[in-house]
């Protein structure tokens, strides 16, 4: 529950003003929190100038005092960092440190979620990658064969994907090391699951930025997500909890490619009203 230290609280009402749910009020000069209404977003902890608010539901040792030197990011540098980001499909034969994986997950953990659901989960696959590749490529092959056997004028656009998935499977079976067109011999993946696709996608976006910040590269495997849909073996392997779905699959490793500049993009489609 959320708690107020009445010895520190000065009744300034900053927490009251910042509480979206109106779950805090000032009584006899002190803040009082309605824990039945509160969804534990922590805004009151962050906004209190006297550090009078705490909770016993989370680890308060994680709370850090703001200082500009460690927290501020220059806007131009951030925008350039985003522009320079590239999808990586060439990876070195080098293991990824668990500490870096933990930092990437930490970026996801502290990403905002609707109604403070904090419903995003993460499955890291390293040792079991070969088994997961087999399951995934077999699933894609089966999907591709079904698609080719049931083509219609409306579904003809997917024919190339069906043929690609079948070829990926066959080539991989011939030479798994040289013909890994699924994970491209990356040493790790993180599968992001959530009750809400939006929450999972937001977390994944921040995780991608952290991946680049720690010197790694990544790409999002849509093929894996497609292969996992309705596939009990893959879902059980990942350990998808009831009510959750796979949102993204981040394929991660040390880049075996060097980029020298950003690339152009279409003009933004913006409507000013």
- Do 147 and 242 belong together in one domain? yes
Overall number of domains in the chain: 2
137 with 46, same domain: the answer is no
Does some domain include residue 49? yes
Domain assignment present for residue 199? The answer is: yes
Q: Based on the domain organization, do 144 and 14 belong to the same domain?
A: no
Separation of CA 107 from chain center: 8
- Residue 240's domain comprises 81-273
Alpha helices by DSSP H, the chain: 14-18, 43-47, 68-71, 75-84, 98-109, 129-149, 159-174, 197-213, 222-228, 232-238
> What pTM did the predictor assign?
0.94
Q: Classify residue 157 as exposed, middle or buried by CB count within 10 Å of its CB (0-12, 13-18, 19+).
A: exposed
SS (H, E, C) 190-202: EEEEECCHHHHHH
Q: Is the domain of 101 the same as that of 161?
A: yes
Same domain, 86 and 200: yes
> Could you tell me if 27 and 128 lie in one domain?
no
pLDDT < 70 regions, the chain: none
Asked, for residue 101, whether it belongs to a domain, the answer is yes
- C-alpha 137/C-alpha 61 separation (Å) is 44
* Whole-number pLDDT of residue 81: 97
pLDDT digits 0-9 by tens, 62-87: 999 999 999 999 999 999 999 999 99
Same domain, 114 and 221: yes
Identify whether residues 17 and 87 lie together within a single domain. no
For 92-133, give the DSSP string.
Answer: -S-PPPHHHHHHHHHHHHTS--GGG----EEEEESTTHHHHH
CATH number reported for the structural domain that contains residue 39 in this entry = 3.30.70.20
Q: Provide the 3-class DSSP secondary structure of residue 269.
A: coil
Would residue 273 count as lying in a domain?
yes
CA distance 161 to 213: 33
253: CATH = 3.40.109.10
């Amino acid at each position: 529950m959320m708690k107020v230290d009445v010895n520190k609280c000065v009744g300034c009402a900053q927490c009251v003003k910042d509480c979206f749910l109106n779950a805090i009020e000032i009584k006899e000069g002190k803040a009082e929190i309605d824990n039945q209404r509160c969804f534990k977003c922590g805004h009151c902890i962050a906004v209190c100038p006297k550090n009078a608010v705490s909770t016993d539901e989370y680890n308060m040792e994680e709370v850090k005092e703001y200082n500009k030197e460690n927290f501020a990011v220059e806007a131009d540098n951030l925008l350039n960092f985003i522009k320079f980001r590239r999808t990586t499909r060439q990876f070195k034969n080098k293991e990824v440190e668990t500490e870096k994986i933990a930092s990437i997950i930490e970026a996801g953990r502290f990403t905002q979620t609707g109604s403070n659901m904090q419903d995003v989960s993460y499955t890291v696959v390293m040792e079991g990658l070969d088994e997961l590749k087999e399951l995934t490529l077999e699933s894609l092959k089966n999907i591709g064969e079904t698609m080719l056997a049931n083509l219609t004028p409306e579904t003809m656009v997917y024919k190339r994907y069906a043929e690609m998935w079948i070829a990926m499977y066959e080539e991989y079976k011939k030479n798994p090391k040289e013909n890994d067109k699924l994970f491209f011999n990356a040493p790790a993946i993180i599968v992001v699951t959530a009750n809400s696709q939006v929450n999972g996608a937001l977390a994944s976006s921040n995780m991608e930025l952290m991946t680049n910040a720690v010197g790694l590269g990544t790409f999002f495997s849509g093929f894996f997500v497609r292969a996992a849909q309705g596939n009990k073996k893959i879902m059980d392997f990942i350990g998808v909890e009831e009510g959750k779905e796979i949102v993204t699959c981040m394929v991660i490793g040390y880049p075996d490619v060097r980029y020298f500049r950003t690339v152009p993009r279409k003009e933004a489609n913006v409507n000013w009203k």
